[in-house]
Amino acid sequence: MGLLKIFIEVEKIEKVKKFMMQLVVFVNKIREEIELANEKGYGVLFMGDRNHPEVKGVISFVDDIQIFESFEEIENIKIDINKTYLLSTQTTLNKKV
């Protein structure tokens, strides 16, 4: 492999690292918001893929969470009108609304 190809590969790796670090910042922000809502006794409504590692990690910090993957599933969510809720989503969610 030539030196130019090595530099190009290193640059690609650095771009991926930068993207991943930015993504971690977003995931941590969501986790912090969910933890704060949980501490305040809020319920959490979370749109995301239940089987995605990000979702599994984030929801592990919450006592009262309802997850939905599609707008059709929203109909099954139980809402207490006397309770406050935080609505959040998976950072890597790719759904058309």
Which three-class secondary structure state does DSSP give residue 72? helix
Strands, sheet with 85-89, edge to edge from the N-terminal-most edge strand:
65-68, 43-47, 85-89
Rounded to an integer, what distance in angstroms lies between the CA atom of residue 34 and that of residue 30? 6
Determine whether 54 is an active site residue: yes
Q: pLDDT digit string (tens) for 4-23?
A: 666 566 676 666 666 555 55
pLDDT tens, residue by residue, 8-66? 666 766 666 665 555 567 778 888 899 899 999 999 999 988 898 888 888 887 888 99
Pairing assessment for the beta strands 65-68 and 85-89 based on DSSP bridges: unpaired
Say which residues have a Cβ less than 8 Å from residue 27's Cβ, sequence separation at least 6.
54, 57, 58, 91
Of 37, 35, 38, 34, residue with least CA distance to 47: 34
Q: Whole-model pTM?
A: 0.69
Choose, from 54, 72, 73, 75, the residue flagged as catalytic.
54
Distance of CA 75 to the CA centre of its chain: 21
